[in-house]
Amino acid sequence: MGLIGCKAFRPGLVCQPRGPETRFQYVPGLNICKEANAVKNGFHYAENPLDCLTYYSWNGSNEFWLVEGGGDLDEDGHDSKVTCTELRLIRRLSLRGFLVQAVLYILEHPTRKLHDRVRREEGVADNGWVMVAGAAPIAAGKKKGDLMVLLQLQGGELMDYRIFTVDDVKFMPGVFYGMDGEPRKRGEGA
């Protein structure tokens, strides 16, 4: 097939309807349609997983899947959204899995601009996660279970990354951590 990416759905693998004629029930595995036009029809997904959050929130009920697009492909040029005639649903992603896919996208596309949801140098979790990029990134979670993704950049290239989970043992809510997993003061960096 071809291009790997992510797609978000309403519960039960249903696309967000823009009218009764656009509602589509997806199934795990291969889904096929006749035409792919980024504006009118086809199956839509995003190369950059973070672009899915433009269309669906990570709210605990929406589903996010790793997908592979193929057949006729079309791009709209607005973000990393791709339209295709063949869409294989590979597996449902946990929040951690979704964020790992976002990191892999950044690794595979080092010259592309970082997504607006990636904070620079420091950030605090919102809606269960935060992703921070910089030479010495630091991040804090607000509550147990929040994920902190740190991306260490050098000359704009991703050199290393870490994912920490607020667990109320080693990683505490409201505390900033650096790449080494040690507490940091704001402005101190890794």
Residue pLDDT, tens place only, 50-62: 999 998 999 989 9
Contacts within 8 Å (CB) and 24+ apart, 22-27: 26/87, 26/89, 27/89
pLDDT at residue 19, rounded to an integer: 56
Average pLDDT of the chain is 90
- State the burial class of residue 186 (Cβ atoms within 10 Å of its Cβ: 0-12, 13-18, 19+): exposed
Both structure tokens of 83: 């339209």
Between 117 and 25, residue with greater pLDDT = 117
Between 2 and 167, residue with greater pLDDT = 167
Which residues are within 8 A (CB) of 29 and not within 5 positions of it... i.e. 6 or more apart?
A: 88, 89
The C-alpha atoms of residue 140 and residue 121 are separated, in whole angstroms, by: 12
Q: Token match 């010495």: residue?
A: 136
pLDDT at residue 40, rounded to an integer: 65
pLDDT at residue 22, rounded to an integer: 62
Span 88-114, pLDDT tens digits: 999 999 999 999 999 999 999 988 999
The C-alpha atoms of residue 54 and residue 34 are separated, in whole angstroms, by: 26
Between 186 and 187, residue with greater pLDDT = 186
pLDDT exceeds cutoff 60 at 139:
yes
pLDDT at residue 46, rounded to an integer: 94
pLDDT exceeds cutoff 90 at 130:
yes
| pLDDT average, residue stretch 174-184 | 97
| 140 DSSP β-pair partners | 124
pLDDT exceeds cutoff 90 at 15:
no
pLDDT at residue 180, rounded to an integer: 97
pLDDT at residue 36, rounded to an integer: 66
pLDDT at residue 42, rounded to an integer: 80
pLDDT exceeds cutoff 90 at 115:
yes
pLDDT at residue 37, rounded to an integer: 65
